[in-house]
Chains A and B, each alone.
Chain A
Amino acid sequence: MRYIEPHAHMVSRVTDDYVEMVTAGCQAVCEPAFWAGFDRSSVHGFYDYFCQLTEHEPKRAAKFGLAHFCWLCLNPKESEDVKLADEVLAIIPQFLDRPTVLGIGEIGLNKNSRNEMTVLEKHIDLAARHDQMILVHTPHLEDKLKGTRLILDALKSDQRIQPERVIIDHVEEHTVQLVLDAGFWAGMTLYPESKCTPARAIDIVEVYGNERIWMNSACDWGVSIPLAVPKTALEMRRRGHSAEAIDKLIYQNPLKFLSQCSKFKLTL
Chain B
Amino acid sequence: MTRQQVTDLYFMEARSKLIDLAAFLDRVERAEGEEDFRVKAFRQALGELSKKAPGKARKALLTFSDPTIKPIAKATTKAACGAWPGTKSANSGKAGGFPRCLQNVKSPV
**Residues on A facing B (Cβ under 8 Å):** 35, 37, 77, 80, 110-117, 139-146, 149-150, 172-174, 191, 193-195, 199-200, 203, 220-223, 238-240
Whether the Cβ atoms of B72 and A114 lie closer than 8 Å is yes
**How many angstroms between the C-alpha atoms of A37 and B79 in the bound complex?**
12
Whether the Cβ atoms of A142 and B72 lie closer than 8 Å is no
A220 neighbours in B (Cβ, 8 Å): 109
**How many angstroms between the C-alpha atoms of A80 and B74 in the bound complex?**
7
Whether the Cβ atoms of B78 and A111 lie closer than 8 Å is yes
Whether the Cβ atoms of A142 and B62 lie closer than 8 Å is no
User: What are 8 A-B pairs at a CB distance below 8 A?
Assistant: A113-B75, A141-B83, A143-B66, A144-B61, A191-B108, A194-B108, A223-B108, A240-B5
Interface size class of B (residues with CB under 8 A): 20 to 34
Whether the Cβ atoms of B75 and A115 lie closer than 8 Å is yes
- The 0/1 profile, CB within 8 Å of A marked 1, for residues 85-109 of chain B is 0000000000001100000000111
* Cross-interface CB contact of A174 among B62, B80, B81, B83, cutoff 8 Å: B62
By beta carbon, the residue of chain B nearest A172 is B61
Is B58 an interface residue when CB atoms closer than 8 A count as contact?
yes
Whether the Cβ atoms of A110 and B75 lie closer than 8 Å is yes
**How many angstroms between the C-alpha atoms of A200 and B61 in the bound complex?**
13
A238 neighbours in B (Cβ, 8 Å): 9
A141 neighbours in B (Cβ, 8 Å): 64, 80-83, 107-108
Whether the Cβ atoms of B84 and A116 lie closer than 8 Å is no
Is B67 an interface residue when CB atoms closer than 8 A count as contact?
yes
Apart from A35-B78, A174-B58, A200-B57, list 14 A-B contacts with CB within 8 A: A37-B109, A110-B78, A114-B74, A143-B66, A143-B80, A145-B62, A145-B67, A146-B67, A149-B69, A173-B57, A195-B108, A199-B10, A222-B109, A240-B5
By beta carbon, the residue of chain A nearest B95 is A113
Q: A80-B75, A113-B72 are in contact. Are A142 and B80 (CB under 8 A)?
A: yes
* Cross-interface CB contact of A111 among B57, B58, B69, B98, cutoff 8 Å: B98
**How many angstroms between the C-alpha atoms of A194 and B106 in the bound complex?**
12
* Cross-interface CB contact of B61 among A37, A112, A115, A173, cutoff 8 Å: A173
Is B44 an interface residue when CB atoms closer than 8 A count as contact?
no
Shortest C-beta distance, B95 to chain A (Å), equals 8
By beta carbon, the residue of chain B nearest A143 is B80
Shortest C-beta distance, A79 to chain B (Å), equals 8
**How many angstroms between the C-alpha atoms of A141 and B10 in the bound complex?**
25
